[in-house]
Amino acid sequence: MSTFPSIRGRLTASLVALACLAALGGCGGGGKGASPAPGSVTQGGSVEDQLGFTRKGIASAQAKVENSIAACMKAQGFEYVPGDPVAVQAALTGKPDMSDEEFEKQFGYGITTLYGRGSVQTDPNSKIRARLGSADLRAYEIALSGGKPDQTFALAIDTGDFTQLGGCTKQATDKLLGGTQLLATLQRKLDELDESIVTDQRMVRAVEDWTTCMRAATGERFEDSEAIEDSIKKRFEAIIGPALPPGQVAAEGSYDKAALVELQRNEVDLSTKDVACERKHITPVEEKVRSEKETRFRERNADLLGKVKPLGS
């Protein structure tokens, strides 16, 4: 199945990549940009725009969540320093406010191209954890995430699964967005919307045209953008080896640097061709199909949408 119209697709990929590589989990601290009024999803624009699923909307939401987490942790006797997504992006990309188009042009999908640009120092809370004994560290993680340190706000936004959040992370998310149960219901509805779009015969034919376009441009056959990313990830792991903790890089001389540089160039090239084929074959069709499907979606889910606090509101 194609992943082109996914609400959590290309829109958030680079932002989440920055957060993950920076070891921040759910980032925070900055983020500007207009968002719909709290507690209402207004007409105009796509559903994803109205829900705040934009780069700035997500960054703003992460900022609020991080600050709420810090307050929650302090109330339980723990120190927690909110992350700053603007500073993270500036450190990793060299620019604090990079558009999706700029990111794609320079970093492609952000899979291999950000490797080695992060630092353990990017996460101030790593130092806090390092000072704690095993029992205190366990208590810290339970307070922060319910004992699931890998379950962060950024990951939940990326996957759409808010059910695994715990501790202060869940409390902060509930406070910002109106409750994780509401979000789970919304997520299910959005997944149904995406499914109705990608299975529409007009979209099926458009994806086939995209596949043909990519084969002509690259000499390879890909079913969708996700297949390209999976291919890059496998090649990356073959060069670097097992995944390393964020901010760390493989030891000097332990991997083929020339091969990595070549793969990074290939990633940007594939991303550029992907975007070109998508704009030519997918975008015009998706705009029409999505408009039709979203009109019906709004009509059938007006009550639900009225209860949702858009990201960044």
pLDDT tens profile 146-195? 999 888 888 887 777 888 999 999 999 888 877 767 777 887 888 899 99
Q: Which of 36-45, 123-132, 240-249 has the lowest mean pLDDT?
A: 36-45
Mean pLDDT confidence for 232-252:
75
- Assigned token pair, 271: 């991303």
Highest mean pLDDT among 85-94, 140-149, 244-253: 140-149
Query: How do residues 128-150 score in pLDDT, each as one tens digit?
Result: 998 999 999 999 999 999 999 88
Strands in the chain per DSSP E:
none
Residue reference for tokens 């500007």: 32
- What b/e string do you get for 187-216 counting C-beta neighbours within 10 Å, with b at 16 or more? bebbeebbebbbebeebeebbeebbebbee
In angstroms, the Cα distances linking 311 to 41, 97, 203, 236 are 11, 18, 28, 33
Q: What is the mean pLDDT of the chain?
A: 80
Q: What pLDDT does 8 receive? A: 35
Angle made by CA atoms 261, 263, 269, in degrees to the nearest 5? 110
Tell me the C-alpha distance between 187 and 173, whole Å: 15
Cα-Cα end-to-end distance for the chain: 33
In the chain, pLDDT over 90 holds for what percent of residues?
45
